[in-house]
Homo-oligomer: A and B are copies of this chain.
């Protein structure tokens, strides 16, 4: 992991709290996996990424081990991450978009939208983590559903994400301390 600390030489615009860390070679998924590992290590939360479901077509055996000789990736009907934090059920999805003005709704499947509604209705904490323009936002499931219910658009405008979302600042250990935002808005 290479961390480049970009400082603005003008002291007026330089702010310690707003130092920008660029985590090169690490994508959103890696940063979240590292955060979850960190939370597990310090016994703060128990959150895992679910394995991608696989359809297994052909197997063979080698030294008593089952080998997959043909398989394919299936769609998850839930969100990718779930777990337990401060006695609460937590469930979220993380997506990166390279669009600069909006987040395409094609990123979230129909089943997943239903899942988000259900989790909220049953008292769980449910949100999206969206990386857009290299900034990472937590968007509450409630605000996501609100948006879908009130518009026929096929994407979420960046302005909406900026307005309703909460920026998760880059840091060190963990790279993305998203539970800080969860504490702030849910607990």
Tell me the A residues contacting B by CB distance below 8 Å.
40, 43, 45-46, 48, 50-54, 65-73, 76-78, 82-89, 91, 115, 118-119, 121-124
Contact = CB atoms under 8 A, between A and B. Distances in A.
Nearest to A62: B72
A12 to B, nearest CB: 44
Contacts of A66: 72-73
B52 A86 contact: no
Best-surrounded residue of A40, A45, A84 (most CB of chain B within 10 A): A84
A86 B50 contact: no
Given A48-B78, A51-B54, A69-B69, 12 more contacts: A43-B118, A46-B119, A48-B77, A50-B50, A50-B51, A51-B51, A52-B54, A66-B72, A67-B70, A84-B123, A87-B89, A87-B124
Nearest to A87: B123
A68 B71 contact: yes
B69 A70 contact: yes
Closest 10 CB pairs of A and B: A87-B123, A51-B53, A68-B71, A89-B89, A84-B89, A51-B51, A84-B124, A54-B54, A84-B122, A46-B118
B73 A68 contact: yes
Contacts of A89: 83-84, 87-89
